[in-house]
Amino acid sequence: MCGIIGCAGVRDTVPSLLEGLRRLEYRGYDSAGIAVLDGDGIGRRRVKGKIRDLDEEIRLHPLAGDCGIGHTRWATHGRPSEDNAHPHTDCSGTIALVHNGIVENYWSLKERLRGEGHVFRTETDTEVIVHLVEKHFRGSLEDAVRAAVGELEGAFAVACISSRDPGKIVVARNGPPAVVGLGSGETFISSDITPLLHHTRRVSYMSDGEIAVLTPSGARFTTFAGAPVEKAVETLDWEPAMIEKRGFEHFMAKEIFEQADVVRDTLKSRVSLESGRVFLDDIGIGQDVFRETTRVVLIACGTSYHAGLVGKYLLETLAHIPVDVEYASELRSRDFVMDRGTLVLGISQSGETADTLAALRATRDKARAVLAVTNNINSSMARGADGVLDLHAGPEIGVAATKTFVGQMAALALFALAFAQARGALGAEDGLALVQEFQRVPHKMDLVLGRAADIERAARRYLGCEHYLFLGRWINFPIALEGALKLKEISYTHAEGYAGGEMKHGPIALIDEGMTTLAIVPRDRVYEKMLANISEVQARSGRILAVAFEGDDKARAVAEEVFPIPETNQLFTPFLTILPLQLFAYYSAAAKGFDVDQPRNLAKSVTVE
pLDDT at site 239: 66
User: Region 404-433: what's the mean pLDDT?
Assistant: 94
Q: Decide if pLDDT at 443 tops 60.
A: yes
User: Region 437-451: what's the mean pLDDT?
Assistant: 93
What DSSP string runs through 357-378? HHHHHHHTTTSSEEEEEES-TT
pLDDT at site 28: 66
Q: Decide if pLDDT at 582 tops 90.
A: yes
Q: In the chain, list all ranges with CATH 3.40.50.10490.
A: 251-449, 452-591
Q: What is the pLDDT of residues 178-227, one digit of tens each?
A: 999 999 999 999 988 888 888 898 999 998 899 999 999 999 999 999 99
pLDDT at site 212: 97
pLDDT at site 15: 92
How many H-runs (helices) and E-runs (strands) does the chain carry?
19, 25
CA 587/CA 453 separation, integer angstroms:
10
E strands of 191-314, at which residues?
202-205, 210-215, 218-223, 228-229, 234-235, 295-300
**Helices marked H in 126-188:** 127-136, 141-149
In this structure, how many other beta carbons lie within 10 angstroms of the beta carbon of residue 123? 13
Q: What is the pLDDT of residues 357-410, one digit of tens each?
A: 888 888 888 889 999 999 888 788 888 899 999 888 887 888 889 999 999 999
Q: Which CATH architecture has domain 251-449?
A: 3-Layer(aba) Sandwich (3.40)
pLDDT at site 598: 83
Which CATH code for domain 452-591? Answer: 3.40.50.10490
pLDDT at site 509: 74
Q: How confident is the model at residue 528 (pLDDT cuts 50, 70, 90)?
A: very high
Q: Decide if pLDDT at 268 tops 90.
A: no
Q: What pTM, to 2 d.p., does this model score?
A: 0.74
Q: In the chain, list all ranges with CATH 3.60.20.10.
A: 3-241
pLDDT at site 99: 94
**Helices marked H in 390-476:** 403-422, 428-449, 452-461
pLDDT at site 605: 55
Q: Decide if pLDDT at 604 tops 80.
A: no
**Helices marked H in 27-118:** 51-60, 106-115
User: Region 163-168: what's the mean pLDDT?
Assistant: 95
**C-alpha closest to that of 568 among 476, 473, 485:** 476
Helix (H, G, I), strand (E, B) or coil at 494: strand
Q: What is the pLDDT of residues 15-39, one digit of tens each?
A: 999 999 988 876 667 889 999 998 8
pLDDT at site 240: 61
pLDDT at site 535: 81
pLDDT at site 242: 61
Q: How confident is the model at residue 154 (pLDDT cuts 50, 70, 90)?
A: confident
Share of the chain above pLDDT 70, in %: 96
Q: Which residues are designated catalytic?
A: 2, 604
pLDDT at site 603: 61
Q: Decide if pLDDT at 592 tops 60.
A: yes
127: left (phi over 0), alpha (psi -120 to 50) or beta: alpha
The one-letter amino acid code at 144 reads: A
User: Region 349-364: what's the mean pLDDT?
Assistant: 85
Helix then strand then coil, in percent of the chain rounded to 5, is: 40, 25, 35
pLDDT at site 45: 95
Partner residues linked to 33 by β-bridges? 46, 71
Instruction: Indicate the average pLDDT of the chain.
Output: 90
Q: Decide if pLDDT at 116 tops 70.
A: yes
User: Region 70-74: what's the mean pLDDT?
Assistant: 88
Per the CB < 8 A criterion, the answer to whether 172 and 156 are in contact is yes
Which CATH code for domain 3-241? Answer: 3.60.20.10
pLDDT at site 81: 87
